[in-house]
Amino acid sequence: MEPQASTIPTTVNLGITKMLYLWLKAFHIISVVCWFAGLFYLPRLFVYHAQSEDTVSKERFSLMERKLYRGIMGPAMIATLIFGGWLISLNPGAYFSQGGWMHAKLTLVVLLIGYHHMCGAQVKRFARGENTRSHVFYRWFNEVPVLILLAIVILVVVRPF
Ligand code: HEM
């Protein structure tokens, strides 16, 4: 069904706190998208890196991995945590007093931060030429953030509990 024009108000007349909340949420989502770009692409690079045999390719993959991890994923993860934490601080009671979806989301975020650091350890292992895992391992490893993303988006949007 088409929404009525009058049911989609603009936000220009909202109070300062509500505007801050919307801006923080916008930047939170932008940071999440940037973080996930890296969480999806870095393990893909591991797949190709594990398949490569010549030194030139290996060194190029290591450079790409390091730049993606340090230049994009690290800052995006920190921005996600800052904007998310700031959002909670605006009204902590609203998120923790009813339902358990935010607790579940934060548990998954902790797992995601663990995954992020496992990626960082792997970047270093590849750079030292000490990778022992096959490209098949990284193909499966690559699916972990997909599952976490599905679960978190369903938790924050549907709020099933
Ligand atoms: C410590 C990390 C995080 C904290 C503290 C946090 C906190 C929050 C808060 C308080 C909101 C506003 C909820 C509302 O009022 O509707 C929010 C929205 C959102 N968060 Fe996070 N978040 C974090 C990480 C993440 C991650 C990793 C993802 C993605 C996988 C994510 C995806 C979203 C989405 C999609 C929304 C918009 C929900 C909506 O408007 O319906 N967040 N977050």
Span 87-140, pLDDT tens digits: 999 999 999 998 999 999 999 999 999 999 999 999 999 999 999 999 999 999
Q: Which of 156, 158, 159 to mutate to test the pocket of ligand 1 (most atoms within 8 A of CB)?
A: 156
Looking at residues 25-36, what average pLDDT do you find? 98
Q: Which of 28, 73, 90 to mutate to test the pocket of ligand 1 (most atoms within 8 A of CB)?
A: 28
C-beta of 108 in contact with ligand 1 (< 6 A): no
Candidate from 4-8, 10-14, 33-37 with smallest mean pLDDT: 4-8
Residue 63: pLDDT above 60?
Answer: yes
Classified as helix, coil or strand, 2 is coil
C-beta of 154 in contact with ligand 1 (< 6 A): no
Residue 156: pLDDT above 80?
Answer: yes
pTM: 0.92
Helix (H) or strand (E) holding 20: helix 16-51
C-beta of 8 in contact with ligand 1 (< 6 A): no
Instruction: Tell me how far the alpha carbon of residue 78 lies from the centroid of ligand 1, in angstroms.
Output: 13
Looking at residues 2-6, what average pLDDT do you find? 59
Give the confidence band of 8 by pLDDT, cuts at 50, 70, 90: confident
Residue 47: pLDDT above 60?
Answer: yes
State the alpha helices, DSSP H only, in 52-132: 55-67, 74-90, 92-96, 101-127
Instruction: Tell me how far the alpha carbon of residue 84 lies from the centroid of ligand 1, in angstroms.
Output: 6
d(CA 57, CA 94): 51
Please tell me the residue having the least CA distance from ligand 1 atom 40. 157
Residue 6: pLDDT above 80?
Answer: no
Residue 1: pLDDT above 60?
Answer: no
